[in-house]
Amino acid sequence: MAKVITDPNTLVRDEIAKLPNFKVGVRYEEFTENNPELDLIRLGSNENPYGPSPRVLDAITNNLDKIHLYPDNTCSDLAREFASLLNVKVSQLVFDCGAESIMLSLMNVCLRPGDKVLSLSPTFPVLNIWAAAAGATVIGVPHEDDLSFSAERFCLSIDKSIRMIYLCMPNNPTGSYFSESELSLIIESADPGTLFVLDEAYVEFSGNKLDYPDAIALLNEAGQPFISLRTMSKAYALAGMRVGYGICYHEDFATLLKRANTVFNVGVLTLKAAVAALSDTVHLDNYLEAIYSERTRLEDEIARMGLRAFKSGGNFICLSLPSFEKALKIEQEMQQTGIFIKGQRGRPITPSDFEGVLRITIGKPAENNQMLKVLKTLV
């Protein structure tokens, strides 16, 4: 008698069965092995090309004898450092293996089937996937023809049916952000019970932007519930260590999120590395200054090439292209020279047709020069 194999789709919720397959990331080591003649330039994942502080490497080396032990599940040392830095209570903070993990937990804990999430379009792609997994719908407000996002247009989509407002600032992939007056308008238009999710993974890179708002202060002043999601992957160069944190508007909200999470979610070496990274402010400042300088230079070069770019507050620039297909074509052609950038869907034209964007990480000057040299031959 033939063995009957149960269809795996019947074992999960319908929302999960309908999700697209997870896109496998680039295998850089395999690419290098197959293309030894090419110099690999990684400008597709918004990584810090300068690496972490030497203090991080020392902290990891000095604690290798502790990896057989469970970590401090309260992340107490790191929490105290961040509480002091951010002027918040330790009890308002939550930690996990990346800001993405906290975001996924939020979707699972806060969203119900039929709920609506309001956001920008385009924005961090996993928002649509995780909201759909919870049975919720994402309403994306597209940018204007001048590549800015209109706060007034965003507010037109706000009503009592909006359960969550997700604002990635600086926005991934465009680098865009709302000014203080624009964000204030959005907050004033929201229902008092609407949860604001601020994805501030790139907030450190906005330090030289005079019009960048203190979003947490504005939300606190308005009494609006919020959580700010942040990471140590970008500015602190700990992408491979996986540590993210959330700043909650109230300690009771942080407690609720912890109830539904795993017990040990940040490893021993990661915690030691994170505390060490926070202690080296000179290393951080040097990287940020390099970003500010190179971001301005790249924006000027892109403009001279006749290309259109969003105003970016991140560690990347983002080009606007007429089609998603064009973005993918340039991405693939750049990869053939060893340069990795990120082509993504942009503003929707029709339900099935999209403009394209090219997100390019700001690398070291020599890397940026090579990227510009190749890009000029492709556009």
Q: Which residues pair with 142 in a beta bridge?
A: 121
Specify the DSSP element, H or E, that contains 358.
Answer: strand 353-361
Residues 35 and 110 both lie in one domain: no
**Cβ-Cβ contacts under 8 Å for 24 (sequence gap 6 or more):** none
- Cβ–Cβ under 8 Å, residues 228 and 196: no
pTM: 0.94
Last residue of a domain, one of 227, 257, 279: 279
Q: Are residues 12 and 65 in the same domain?
A: no
Q: Maximum Cα–Cα distance for the chain, whole Å?
A: 73
Q: Are residues 81 and 192 in the same domain?
A: yes
Q: Is residue 3 part of a domain?
A: no
Strand (E) positions, 87-136?
Answer: 93-96, 116-121
Q: What is the mean pLDDT of each run of 10 residues along the chain (379 residues)?
A: 86 91 82 93 97 98 97 96 97 96 95 97 95 96 96 97 97 98 98 97 96 97 97 98 97 95 94 98 98 98 96 98 96 97 93 93 98 95
Q: What is the pLDDT of residues 6-22, one digit of tens each?
A: 999 999 999 999 988 87
**Same domain flag for 268 and 211:** yes
3-class DSSP assignment, residue 217:
helix
177: Cα within 13 Å, side-chain hemisphere? 24
Q: How far is CA 359 from CA 13, 317, 321, 376, in A?
A: 34, 6, 11, 16
- Looking at the structure, do residues 199 and 221 belong to the same domain, yes or no? yes
Q: Cis omega before residue 170 (within 30°)?
A: yes
Antiparallel, parallel or unpaired: β 339-340 and 41-42: parallel
CATH label of the domain that carries residue 26: 3.90.1150.10
Range of the domain at 369: 8-51+282-376
- 163: helix, strand or coil: strand
Give the whole-angstrom CA distance, residue 122 versus residue 345: 7
d(C-alpha 186, C-alpha 158), whole Å: 8
pLDDT tens, residue by residue, 22-76: 776 788 999 999 999 999 999 999 999 999 999 999 999 999 999 999 999 999 9
Where do we find the tokens 């002027």?
Answer: 87
Express each pLDDT in 309-341 by its tens digit. Answer: 999 999 999 999 999 999 999 999 999 999 999
What distance in Å separates the CA atoms of residue 348 and residue 345, rounded to the nearest whole number? 8
3-state helix/strand/coil string of 298-326: HHHHHHHCCCEECCCCCCEEEEEECCHHH
Domain end (from 279, 300, 334):
279
What's the alpha-carbon Rg for the chain, to the nearest Å? 21
Q: Closest by alpha carbon to 96, among 278, 283, 230? A: 230
